[in-house]
């Protein structure tokens, strides 16, 4: 009897547990959110996913359109500017930095699909640090859509794409924000310790390391807004990188494509900043002692543009088209804003007398 009683109690307990599980399951099902609530949860998940996808989609575009460039002396990056298809081949035009290609006529270009092809250096420009490389491939390569570097705002997210520290890190992406859109950086072109040129650049917190030079700076639409160029390398400095704005780069790139060099105007003089002269030198050359800014004409090209209007050795150029000329750097920057054939008004100090001449640049 005891065994039968135990079996009966055990059976009742088992039935009770089964019924309780069924009750709990039904209750949980009834407590699920309604259709509208479920849709709301789904939408929230989609929104979170979409915010992440903005970054990943831009990165994917950037990686596919950015190349690694190597030479015998180093490596860098490049951004695909144009692609032209013909006869199952593709002529790919790539923007990079002049200091990446150096004096090389050919470079090796590593594409996102892992293929390396030799490319020809079309031309480069020392002042803007831009160069153009062309490669012929047997596979399709997409070019970047061009963004609006002039419309960038401080705080806007950007991505730097390139090959930091060498080819083994090709296709790397770093993120940051735009810190400043029109930063002026002095550049020493001949390594003499004096800045020879001012570059207009985008300042960004996106990490730009050796090998990133020439690579793409893109917005969150994956559009090309700049060409990564340099960084400040100091132990006390972090998160300051620079890129050439794409709207500044394109006119230079188009000249390199058409002429293999940048066509700049000739004025037909050699000059030197008057601030470089000591008091003794000024006395020796008969230069005014009280003039603190300007460019001293040290040589004249015979029958050149300046010679034709009577500019002489010893004249001091103090103004060009209404802009004060502080030194040789500002003289060259103002001159190179012009084109061959342009007329410029130049104010000169000759023996402490100001004169204005109109020069037609060649």
251 close to 81: Cβ distance less than 8 angstroms:
no
Q: SS in 3 state form for the chain? A: CHHHHHHHHHHHHHHHHHHHHHHHHHHHHHCCCCHHHHHHHHHHHHHHHHHHHHHHHHHHHHHHHEEEEECCCCEEEEEEEEEEEECCEEEEEEEECHHHHCCCCEEEEECCCCCEEEEEEEEEECCCCEEEEEEEECCCCCCCCECCHHHCCCCCEEEEEECCCCHHHCCEEEEEEEEEEEEEEEECCCCCCCCCEEEEEEEECCCCCCCCCCCEEECCCCCEEEEEEEECCCCCCCCCEEEEEHHHHHHHHHHHHHHCCCCCCCCCEEEEEHHHCCHHHHHHHCCCCCCCCCEEEEEECCCCHHHHCCCCCCCEEEEECCEECCCHHHHHHHHCCCCCCCEEEEEEEECCEEEEEEEECC
- Catalytic residue numbers read 99, 129, 213
CA distance 95 to 79: 5
In sequence order, which residues have a C-beta less than 8 Å from that of residue 276 and are 6 or more positions away? Answer: none
State how beta strands 241-245 and 224-231 pair: antiparallel
At 22, list the tokens: 């069924």
């Amino acid at each position: 009897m005891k065994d039968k009683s135990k079996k009966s109690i055990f059976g009742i307990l088992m039935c009770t547990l089964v019924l309780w599980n069924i009750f709990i399951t039904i209750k949980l099902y009834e407590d699920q959110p309604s259709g509208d609530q479920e849709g709301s949860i789904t939408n929230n998940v989609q929104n979170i996913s979409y915010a992440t996808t903005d970054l990943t989609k831009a990165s994917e575009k950037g990686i596919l359109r950015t190349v690694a460039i190597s030479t015998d002396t180093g490596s860098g990056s490049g951004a695909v500017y144009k692609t032209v298809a013909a006869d199952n081949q593709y002529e790919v035009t790539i923007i990079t930095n002049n200091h990446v290609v150096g004096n090389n006529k050919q470079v090796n270009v590593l594409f996102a699909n892992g293929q390396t092809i030799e490319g020809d250096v079309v031309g480069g420009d020392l002042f803007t640090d831009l160069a153009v490389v062309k490669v012929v491939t047997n596979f399709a390569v997409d070019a970047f859509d061009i963004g609006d570097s002039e419309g960038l705002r401080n705080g806007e997210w950007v991505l730097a794409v390139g090959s930091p520290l060498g080819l083994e890190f090709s296709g790397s992406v770093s993120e940051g924000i735009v810190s400043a859109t029109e930063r002026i950086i002095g550049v020493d072109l001949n390594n003499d310790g004096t800045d020879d040129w001012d570059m207009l650049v985008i300042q960004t917190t996106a990490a730009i390391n050796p090998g990133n030079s020439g690579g793409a700076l893109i917005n969150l639409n994956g559009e090309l807004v700049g060409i990564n160029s340099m960084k400040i390398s100091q132990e006390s400095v972090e998160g300051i990188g620079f890129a050439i704005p794409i709207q500044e780069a394109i006119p230079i790139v188009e000249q390199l494509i058409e002429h293999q060099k940048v066509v700049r105007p000739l004025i037909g003089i050699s000059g030197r900043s008057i601030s470089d002269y000591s008091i003794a030198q000024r006395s020796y050359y008969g230069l005014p002692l009280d003039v603190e800014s300007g460019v001293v004409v040290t040589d004249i090209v015979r029958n050149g543009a300046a010679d034709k209007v009577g500019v002489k050795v010893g004249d001091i150029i103090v103004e060009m088209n209404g802009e004060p000329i502080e030194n040789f750097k500002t003289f060259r920057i103002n001159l190179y804003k012009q084109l061959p054939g342009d007329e410029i008004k130049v104010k000169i100090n000759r023996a402490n007398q100001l004169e204005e001449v109109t020069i037609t640049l060649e």
